[in-house]
Homo-oligomer: A and B are copies of this chain.
Amino acid sequence: MTGAGTTPRPSHTSPSQRLYGKISRADRARQKGQSPCVIWFTGLSGSGKSTTAKALEHRLVEKGLHTYLLDGDELRKGLSADLSFDDQARSENIRRLGEVARLFTEAGLIVITAFISPFRPEREQARKLMPEGEFIEVYVETPLAICEERDPKKLYQRARQGEINNFTGIDSRYEPPETPEITINTADLSTEQAVDVIMSYLHKGGIL
């Protein structure tokens, strides 16, 4: 081989190149002029998670913020299409959701998730993936009776008739958050009022 320092090494083994570092979470957030976070809605089917989440996202986008709403049905049709609905599969679904939500914050986005996410350990696992203060758990505590009365997708009806198994609130448990950042009850609040409560929290918490 040629003596070191006299001849450049062949370009095919070591092409001359500027080395690029990783574009960081902070870089991506700065580009978008915002602080990434996960706003994690949890609550029974029909509690108002999706409606509130959508309205919140509209409010944030109107302010020019870069968001993404991870939709439960969409995730089930795609990333989690291989999973069933038993407890173990539901846990795995929520684990994946947490990981994906984290990736979106790495991209600098404000991520909103609206899944029943019934079990406390999976929500806590998702929280642990995020830096302190950047996981905002929104407990939509609308009572079961009201959720069941609304029954927008007729799922409670089907669960009561035994057509659906492992349905949260009927034959599968829901573990309420012990110390959620925000609690809203959509039986008492309009969607706009619920969004106001969350926006107020985000302002106070320095996210906005």
Chain A interface residues (CB < 8 Å from chain B): 11-23, 27-28, 31-32, 51, 54-55, 57-58, 61, 64, 66-71, 74, 78-79, 82, 92, 96, 99-100, 102-104, 106-109, 129, 146, 149-150, 186-192
Contact = CB atoms under 8 A, between A and B. Distances in A.
A78 B66 contact: no
A28 B79 contact: no
A189 B54 contact: no
Which 5 A-B pairs rank lowest in CB-CB distance, beginning with the nearest?
A: A12-B187, A17-B191, A68-B107, A79-B99, A20-B54
B61 A31 contact: yes
Nearest to A70: B103
A134 to B, nearest CB: 16
A180 to B, nearest CB: 20
B55 A192 contact: no
Given A17-B55, A20-B191, A22-B69, 4 more contacts: A15-B191, A20-B57, A20-B58, A22-B71
A149 B104 CA distance: 36
A16 B190 contact: yes
Contacts of A74: 103
A192 B79 contact: no
Contact of A189 (B15, B51, B96, B189): B15
A57 B15 CA distance: 19
A190 B20 CA distance: 13
A13 B146 contact: yes
8 contacts: A12-B146, A16-B190, A20-B58, A23-B54, A27-B61, A68-B103, A103-B104, A107-B109
Contacts of A55: 17-18, 20
A149 B68 contact: no
